[in-house]
Structure 1
Amino acid sequence: MKRKKHTSGDDDAAVDMTPMLDIVFIMLIFFIVTTTFSSEKGLSPTRPPKSDTPNPPSKSLSIRIDASGQILMAGRIVDIRRVVANAQTYLANNDTDSAAIQADEDTEHGVVVSVMDQVKLAGISKISVLVKED
């Protein structure tokens, strides 16, 4: 009987990497094809172009909203449900169709949108939100 000679370490076992690379590329193609890309939708503000000459001051309804969400109209604190009535009273005394809302940067957006809705219900068509330039 012949005995097998032990082979030396020169005969390393080689692993064929081709099937593994094929699977990786197939998975890559699968994930690229099945991925859906969605674009975020939102409001894009349109700001008027900057001009060197200031516009003449016009009489518009001024509303301020502080950081805690309190609404100030003509220096008085007003409840959100009374914005329509106060805006209509202002319209009866002044000839204007515009309102300016100045909100603190820490004010919740929902409060600002609610005030904008109330002002529109009062009959004011032009509403501007004032922002602080850096």
Structure 2
Amino acid sequence: MKFRRQSNDNVEINLAPLIDVVFLLLIFFMVTTTFTRETRLGVVLPEASGQPRVEVADHVEVVIGAGGEYLVNGEQLLRHDEATLRSVLLPLARAGTDRPLVITADASSPHQAVVRVMDVAGQLGFVNITITTQAPSGG
């Protein structure tokens, strides 16, 4: 019986197609990647400067506490919503919208509460809205 001799071929893995596939994947990921640039606004908050304004006797004052509670001309509102604020400011607006409306907010009061007062006052027709500021401490 004659057995056939097995040929001892040199088995090699051709790396060229593998490198081609890797380069194609690299190109695919480079093309499909979105390069987003994060942009941020640099906000410099204003500080008060100058002399305090002379107090006007006939004005509407809205004080906003740290928890978002409202005091209108010294009277605290029961609820902290827009409807209650509107119902209190409406008679004052009917008396005259040319009177100054002064908004005094605590430093830790929510920003939404200040915006709500400005929005309601603008809708009721107040034209002279002032936000009080505190002079910077120190030199």
What's the TM-score once normalised by structure 1's chain length? Answer: 0.57
Rounded Cα–Cα distance in structure 2 between residues aligned with 1:50 and 1:68: 24
Shift, 1:25, TM fit: 1.4
Rounded Cα–Cα distance in structure 2 between residues aligned with 1:72 and 1:57: 22
Structure 2 unmatched runs, 5+: 78-83
Aligned match of 2:81: none
**Aligned partner of residue 128 in structure 1, secondary structure:** strand
Rounded Cα–Cα distance in structure 2 between residues aligned with 1:4 and 1:131: 94
Shift, 1:72, TM fit: 0.3
Q: In 1, are the aligned partners of 2:66 and 2:107 still within 8 Å (CA)?
A: yes
Rounded Cα–Cα distance in structure 2 between residues aligned with 1:129 and 1:13: 77
Considering only aligned residues, what root-mean-square deviation do their CA atoms show, in Å?
A: 4.1
* Number of aligned residue pairs: 120
Which letter does structure 2 place at the counterpart of 1:96?
Answer: R
Shift, 1:116, TM fit: 1.7
Q: Does 1:119 align with 2:121?
A: yes
Structure 1 unmatched runs, 5+: none
Aligned match of 1:66: 65
Which letter does structure 2 place at the counterpart of 1:124?
Answer: F
Q: Does 1:13 align with 2:16?
A: no
Rounded Cα–Cα distance in structure 2 between residues aligned with 1:123 and 1:4: 99
What's the TM-score once normalised by structure 2's chain length? Answer: 0.56
Shift, 1:73, TM fit: 1.6
In the TM superposition, 1:1-134 aligns within 5 A as 1-5=4-8, 13=13, 15=15, 16-32=18-34, 47=46, 51=49, 53-59=50-56, 60-78=59-77, 79-80=84-85, 81-89=87-95, 91=96, 96-103=99-106, 105-107=108-110, 109=112, 111-130=113-132
Distance 1:106 1:12, change over 3 A: farther
Q: In 2, are the aligned partners of 1:62 and 1:100 still within 8 Å (CA)?
A: yes
Rounded Cα–Cα distance in structure 2 between residues aligned with 1:67 and 1:119: 20
Q: In 2, are the aligned partners of 1:100 and 1:128 still within 8 Å (CA)?
A: yes
Q: In 2, are the aligned partners of 1:61 and 1:98 still within 8 Å (CA)?
A: yes
Rounded Cα–Cα distance in structure 1 between residues aligned with 2:129 and 2:12: 79
